[in-house]
Homo-oligomer: A and B are copies of this chain.
Amino acid sequence: MVGSQPLSTWNEGAPKSAILDFVARVTTQGGAEFVPPAERIATFDNDGTLCSEQPLQTQFFFLFDRVKELSARDPAMSGRQPFKAVLDHDYNALFGLGRQALFELALATHAGVTDEDFDQIARGWLATARNPKLGRLFRESVYRPQVELLAYLRENGFKTYIVSASGVDFLRAFANEAYGVSREQVIGSSVKLRYDVGGDRISLMKLPELNSFNDREAKPLNISLHIGRRPRLVFGNSDGDLAMMRYAKSGSGERLALLLHHDDAEREAAYDREFRISPLAEALDKAEDYGITVVSMKRDWKVVF
């Protein structure tokens, strides 16, 4: 990047200026808004913020493939919901079963293996699985302007975190390669673990029991637990990110909250309030009240992938 202009994949406009101005202010030594490097924390949602979540978030496709694999070994699974709906590719039925069924699905497909074995399973899947809408590998269905922004923030002394409702172990299987975000800077949903001793070998077994569903209000709570600081910059794309945006914005000093609006049917997708998995409504309606900068994919990004 040396010699090139920062955020070259972003079009000129209010959001790009807001980011550049914000970074200049908080990094200007002796300036009124200077923020010491230790306090430069940036948190990004993942699905729909850093990568495409259409037609569904990446982890759903992983779940579906895990159900196929697990049901091949346990035929009784095939007749039971929510597994049946998955095997029938009946997503209307699946999402009609409600939130609890989706949790059951997530827990069943993420438990019964160690954290380290799960990492291998997820990496194996990510090596070849493709987004059906985009036709590209999921792990490459990431937004180039965001990858550039993350790198730009790190060059300016920020620690960049992912704070996502997707499973933490799943996210960690690609966050470094896709975004340059290391494993310890990923905060996600999690199941409980069990400490297992097998001879000399200690392993941690993933249990079918929720530890934390990292969405909405849980995002700031987990940020406090894991980081212990209010973020200076937050980037999200749905109402699930509003709590962490407001949390950041109500801290003292300079703070920037950015909201990606998917309004680009041609290059990616156009959706907001009607997306049933993770709608965007309140955050969009209240963006001005809450001091949130709305980023238009269509207008503000020179490229998408």
Shortest CB–CB separation between residue A161 and chain B, in angstroms?
9
A250 contacts B200, C-beta separation under 8 Å: yes
Complex-state Cα separation, A266 to B51, whole angstroms: 60
Residue of B nearest to A175 (CB): B228
Interface members, chain A 173-208 (any B CB < 8 Å): 176, 182-184, 186, 190, 192-195, 197, 200-204
A221 contacts B200, C-beta separation under 8 Å: no
B195 contacts A225, C-beta separation under 8 Å: no
Q: Out of B195, B217, B220, which one reaches A221, CB within 8 Å?
A: B195
Interface members, chain A 203-261 (any B CB < 8 Å): 203-204, 211, 217, 220-221, 224-229, 243, 246-247, 250
A229 contacts B184, C-beta separation under 8 Å: yes
Q: Out of B193, B200, B220, which one reaches A224, CB within 8 Å?
A: B193
A195 contacts B226, C-beta separation under 8 Å: no
Residue of B nearest to A171 (CB): B228
Shortest CB–CB separation between residue A262 and chain B, in angstroms?
26
B226 contacts A184, C-beta separation under 8 Å: yes
Chain B residues near A182 (CB, 8 Å)? 38
A168 at the interface (CB under 8 A from B): yes
29 A/B residue pairs, CB under 8 Å, sorted by A: A38-B176, A38-B182, A38-B183, A168-B228, A169-B228, A172-B228, A183-B227, A183-B228, A183-B229, A184-B226, A184-B228, A184-B229, A186-B228, A192-B221, A193-B221, A193-B224, A194-B221, A195-B220, A195-B221, A195-B243, A195-B247, A197-B246, A200-B250, A201-B250, A202-B220, A202-B243, A202-B246, A204-B224, A211-B225
Given contacts A38-B183, A193-B224, 9 further A-B pairs with CB under 8 A are A38-B182, A115-B228, A169-B228, A184-B229, A194-B221, A195-B243, A195-B247, A202-B246, A226-B226
